[in-house]
Amino acid sequence: MYFALLVLAWLLAAFWVARAREIALNLDSVPDIASEPLMSEAARGALPTLTVIVPAKNEGENIQATLASLVASDYPRLSVIAVDDRSSDATGEIMESFASQDTRVAVIHVPELPDGWMGKPHAMHLGATHAKADWLLFTDGDVLFAPDLLSRAVAHAEKVGADHFVIVPTLVMKTVGERSMIGFMQVLSGLGSRLWRVADPTAKRDIVGIGAFNMIRRNVYEQLGGFEATPMEVIEDLRLAKRVKQAGFAQRVAIAPMMVQLHWAPGGVGLARNLTKNLFAALAFRWWVATLACIWLLLVYPGAFAGLIAGAFGAYLLLIPCALIVLSMFAIARKYRRINGISPLYVVTYPIAAVALAAALVGSVVLTWSRGGVLWRGTLYPLRELRKRGSPLF
């Protein structure tokens, strides 16, 4: 048993060291558009048209700030389509107040959800059908934009020849739990999708789609069939990204520190609760993949620290490989600080974050099975329909 653990520890250490080295050498190549020179008024005036589509359901607390940040943009040829998706609060009224004061803002109200659709893809589909601009930006009703962000984003996308352009948002974190969970998840994502390979058309598995800032050329969106092609997709942002990459269109990603901001959820518990909608869906509702994911989370992260402690108290042969794993985690977290601003010292909390994420995954599986589908914002989407219309992302 001890020999098997030792072999496993060294195999994992080799994997982590290799991935930490790859991230150290390449992550800084992801462009930072916040550091690019300011555009002149003439240059902004030459930018193509842009429509921002903002779907929202019961976002009365956030939608005003989101729309205010959009209409304050310096983008010269901007329109905003706000979609009120069956809200029971003041979301629709707030949208209408903006539309009454600014001709660039239009509002669509969704009284009921048609059969065969999830709420958010349907709302974005409606917004896109009314948009006539060269570029479409899909975002959420709780995102804040810097005044010059849209100009920088479209200018950069045009410069690099992007068909689909994603900005990694700055997540506002108010608690230790949020920093721990978000830092852990970004390190975890770094083991999968490699941001620096998103632009490589041959790297089909390296994709990026983020609901806060998913921008695509309208003609490409239409060629892909829009959201009508995936009406029951839970993780619609990543699905769109995968379709873009598979179709051979140019996908690009950038960071823009503090220029696209959102507060994902209050506290680590709130983050874990929000993830219950997406986690099982991301695994295409495959229970065996969920089981393997839980084993990975619980074996590698708490296991590496447990092996480090055991090595210090007698199991000396485990000390070096487990130390290499933990140091690799630290090195990766240190590189990701450029994106998330989280101290790499939070690596000591990763065992707790891993357990919380595994619990969220188990909760996602149990709730989905017990409910017979995914419950999101008051609507239950049947599992049989989600499975019939979906396919694995990875």
Position 272 scores a pLDDT of 79
* pLDDT (mean) for 25-39: 93
Find where tokens 């830092």 sit: 183
Asked if 25 and 138 touch (Cβ cutoff 8 Å), the reply is no
- What's the pTM? 0.93
Provide the total of helices (H) and of strands (E) in the chain, helices listed first.
15, 12
CATH architecture, domain defined by 29-265 = Alpha-Beta Complex (3.90)
Residue 61: pLDDT band with limits 50, 70, 90: very high
Strands (E), the chain: 50-56, 78-85, 105-110, 135-138, 144-145, 164-168, 170-171, 214-217, 251-255, 260-262, 373-376, 379-382
**Statement: residue 187 has pLDDT above 60:** yes
Cβ neighbours of residue 12 closer than 8 Å, sequence gap 6 or more: 300, 304, 321, 325
Contact 196, 253 (CB under 8 A): no
At residue 212 the predicted structure's pLDDT band, cuts being 50, 70 and 90, is: very high
Tens-place pLDDT, residues 326-372 = 999 999 999 999 999 999 999 999 999 999 999 999 999 999 999 88
pLDDT tens, position by position, 285-319: 888 999 999 999 998 899 889 888 887 766 777 88
CA atoms 307, 309, 314, 320: torsion sign: positive
pLDDT at 314: 67
pLDDT of residue 33: 96
Residue 258: what pLDDT? 94
18: Cβ contacts below 8 Å, ≥ 6 apart: none
Distance CA 365, CA 66 (A): 33
Residue 390 has pLDDT above 70, yes or no: no
Q: Which residues contact 84 (CB under 8 A, 6 or more apart)?
A: 56, 57, 91, 92, 95, 107, 108, 109, 110
How much is the pLDDT for 384? 82
Tokens 């930490």 found at:
20
DSSP annotation of 234 reads S
pLDDT band at 23 (very low <50, low <70, confident <90, very high): very high
Q: Is pLDDT at 26 greater than 60 in this prediction?
A: yes
Partners of residue 251 on adjacent β-strands: 164
pLDDT tens string 71-103: 999 999 999 999 999 999 999 999 999 999 999
Instruction: Tell me the mean pLDDT in the region 179-190.
Output: 90
Dihedral of the alpha carbons of 232, 199, 45, 145, in degrees to the nearest 10: 60
Q: Is the pLDDT of residue 116 over 80?
A: yes
Over its C-alpha atoms, the chain yields an Rg (Å, rounded) of 22
* Per-residue confidence (pLDDT) for residue 17, from 0 to 100: 95
176-190 and 267-275 helices, crossing angle to 10°: 40
How does pLDDT run across 224-278, given as a tens digit for each residue?
Answer: 999 999 999 888 999 999 999 999 999 999 999 999 999 988 888 788 788 877 7
Q: What's the rounded mean pLDDT across residues 198-210?
A: 92
Among 165, 284, 271, which Cα is nearest to 215's? 165
**φ/ψ of residue 240, rounded to 5:** -60, -40
Q: What pLDDT is attached to residue 69? A: 98
Cα angle: 252, vertex 104, 72; to 5 degrees:
70
Write down the pLDDT at residue 394. Answer: 59
Contacting residues for 392 by C-beta, under 8 A, at least 6 apart: 283, 284, 286
Q: What is the mean pLDDT of the chain?
A: 92
DSSP 105-165: EEEEEE-SPPTT--HHHHHHHHHHHH--SSEEEE--TT-EE-TTHHHHHHHHHHHTT-SEE
Please report which confidence band the pLDDT of residue 199 belongs to, taking 50, 70 and 90 as the band edges: very high
Locate the domains of the chain by residue range.
Answer: 2-27+269-389, 29-265
pLDDT tops 80 at residue 62: yes
The pLDDT of residue 204 is: 87
The answer to whether 137 and 52 are in contact (CB under 8 A) is yes
